[in-house]
Amino acid sequence: MIEELDVVKLKDGTEVTILEIFDSEPKYCCQRSDDDEIVFINSQDVSEITYKCKST
């Protein structure tokens, strides 16, 4: 399950950090790692979770 502050790789190879999760599509508000742009993505755009943020 994807949570806030996780880093995911999109199908186009871009890595983004999840900033906010919504109940409907577009599901995630993210910040791109390559240019810091804020983007909204759908759940089907995610290829894999590359870093799982561990809460303390």
The answer to whether position 20 is within a domain reads: yes
The answer to whether position 17 is within a domain reads: yes
Task: Report pLDDT digits (tens) over 8-35.
Answer: 999 999 999 999 999 999 999 999 999 9
Backbone φ/ψ region at 47: left (φ over 0), alpha (ψ -120 to 50), beta: alpha
CATH number of the domain that residue 44 is part of: 2.30.30
* DSSP 8-class letter at 55: P
Give the separation between CA 30 and CA 20, rounded to whole angstroms: 7
Under 8 Å between Cβ of 6 and 52: yes
pLDDT at 55: 67
What number of other Cβ atoms are within 10 A of residue 28's Cβ?
A: 23
Helix (H) or strand (E) holding 5: none
The answer to whether position 26 is within a domain reads: yes
Task: Write out the residue range of the structural domain in which residue 25 sits.
Answer: 7-51
The answer to whether position 32 is within a domain reads: yes
